[in-house]
Homo-oligomer: A and B are copies of this chain.
Amino acid sequence: MTTEAAVRATQGERTRAMRLRLMEATVDSLVELGWSGTTTTVVSRRAGVSRGAQLHHFPSKQALVVAAVEHLTDRRRDDMRRHADRLTGDHRIRGVLDILADQFVSPVFFAALELWVAARTDAELRESVAPLERRIGRETHAYALELLGIDETKGDNRQLVQATLDLVRGLGLAASLTDDARRRATVLDSWATVLEHELEMS
């Protein structure tokens, strides 16, 4: 009641849970069915949410997808943080490359890829996705520097890290059609050697 402090299913919680279910379903749908396969009807069905409720929380497909993108960034960040512990002292560079590459060969990346490509030809969508993607890029860059434990002002360090991120993005794109883990591993092995030679460690 009014005086009862421990009321469970408050509206705020219900709202948050409902929005989360819809966003998760959107991400899953993007991964499985792609951008054009991700219709509002499909999402509502997968989330077990009525069309009315869906439209209540997200008045348009645009709103739903943008929210899902934002949600995606959290998942990406969490994923990365979670794997950062695996790093051992030696072969550190190779380990960092694996963490980064895993980020770009994952369902989360594929969902983001769908948005990325769709945003290229959808002005309204791009307006939401582009700045977000830039922010994620910066965050990932900073995180890579931190994991590698290097100073980006030294030598070509900054460019090398940028190149590394572009590389794993390219590897991720390649993996989306045919996932050749062995090829990826050998390329990363070679790249690690290059970085060991070229990076200016502190």
| Contacts from A to B (Cβ < 8 Å) | 32-37, 110, 113-114, 116-122, 126, 129-130, 133-134, 156, 159-160, 162-163, 165-174, 176-178, 183, 186-187, 189-191, 193-194, 197-198
A171 to B162, CA, bound (A): 10
9 closest cross-chain pairs (CB), A and B: A170-B170, A159-B190, A34-B121, A169-B170, A166-B170, A36-B36, A156-B190, A167-B167, A117-B117
- C-alpha spacing A172/B183, complex, angstroms: 20
| Residue contact B169 to A120, C-beta cutoff 8 Å | no
Main secondary structure, interface of A, reads helix
Contact sample, A vs B, 5 pairs, CB 8 Å cutoff: A34-B122, A130-B177, A130-B178, A167-B167, A170-B171
Give the docked Cα–Cα distance between A110 and B186 (Å).
Answer: 27
Q: Using Cβ atoms and an 8 Å threshold, which residues of chain B touch A165?
A: 170
Looking at the assembled complex, report how far the CB atom of A69 sits from the nearest CB atom of chain B, in whole angstroms. 12
Measured between alpha carbons, how far is A190 from B198 in the docked complex, in Å?
A: 10
Shortest CB–CB separation between residue A79 and chain B, in angstroms? 19
Given A34-B118, A121-B33, A187:B173 Cβ within 8 A: no
A122 CB to closest chain B CB, in angstroms?
7
CB–CB A162/B187 < 8 A: yes
Out of B134, B173, B183, B191, name the residue touching A170 (CB < 8 Å).
B173
Give min CB distance, A133 to chain B, whole Å.
Answer: 6
What residues of chain B lie closer than 8 Å to A172, measured between beta carbons?
170
Q: Could you tell me if A113 and B117 are in contact, using CB atoms closer than 8 angstroms?
A: yes
Assess the B178–A174 pair: CB atoms within 8 A: no
